[in-house]
C-alpha cells in the first residue's frame, strides 16, 4: 500500500546514504588528483536507482558528469580522454613510489594492481 504522506521508506536510507557518500567522494575527486571521480559517480547513480529516481536523473543528466555515466551504463565505454587521464595518474603514482625508494615488494604490488586496472580501462570501448 502506498504511503499517503509520501515519506521515504527506511529501506531506502542505506541506498541514499551510499549515493550521497559516493557523490561527495566523486566531487572531491575533481580537485584531488589521486581520487577518481567517475567510478564514484557511477556508484552514486546505481545507489540512487535503488532509492531516488529524481536524484539519479539529476546525476545522469548533469552537464559535466552525466556523459561518462551514460557511456558506462549504455556501452560499458570509457572516453579516450579519461582513459589517458587514468593511465597517466597511475604512471605518476608509480613514478613517485619509485622515486620515494619504497620497497621492491610494494612497487611490485603497485605494478600488478595498476597494470591490471590499466588493462581493464584500456580494454573498454571508447565512449562518444
CA distance linking residue 101 with residue 113, whole number of Å: 18
So what's the pLDDT on residue 26?
A: 92
Instruction: Report which secondary-structure segment, H or E, holds 128.
Output: none
Residue showing cell 559516493? 22
Phi, psi of 86 (to 5 degrees): -65, -45
Q: For every one of its 128 residues, what pLDDT tens digit does the chain have, with 9 covering 90 and above?
A: 565 556 556 778 899 999 999 999 999 988 887 788 889 999 999 999 999 999 999 999 999 899 999 999 999 999 999 899 889 989 999 999 999 999 999 999 999 999 999 999 999 999 76
Amino acid at each position: 500500500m502506498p504511503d499517503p504522506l509520501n515519506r521515504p521508506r527506511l529501506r531506502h536510507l542505506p541506498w541514499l546514504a551510499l549515493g550521497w557518500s559516493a557523490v561527495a567522494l566523486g566531487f572531491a575527486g575533481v580537485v584531488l588528483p589521486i581520487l577518481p571521480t567517475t567510478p564514484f559517480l557511477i556508484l552514486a547513480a546505481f545507489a540512487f536507482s535503488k532509492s531516488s529516481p529524481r536524484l539519479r536523473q539529476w546525476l545522469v543528466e548533469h552537464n559535466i558528469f552525466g556523459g561518462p555515466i551514460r557511456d558506462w551504463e549504455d556501452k560499458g565505454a570509457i572516453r579516450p580522454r579519461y582513459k589517458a587521464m587514468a593511465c597517466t595518474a597511475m604512471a605518476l603514482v608509480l613514478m613517485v613510489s619509485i622515486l620515494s625508494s619504497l620497497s621492491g615488494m610494494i612497487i611490485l604490488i603497485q605494478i600488478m594492481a595498476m597494470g591490471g586496472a590499466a588493462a581493464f580501462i584500456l580494454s573498454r570501448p571508447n565512449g562518444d
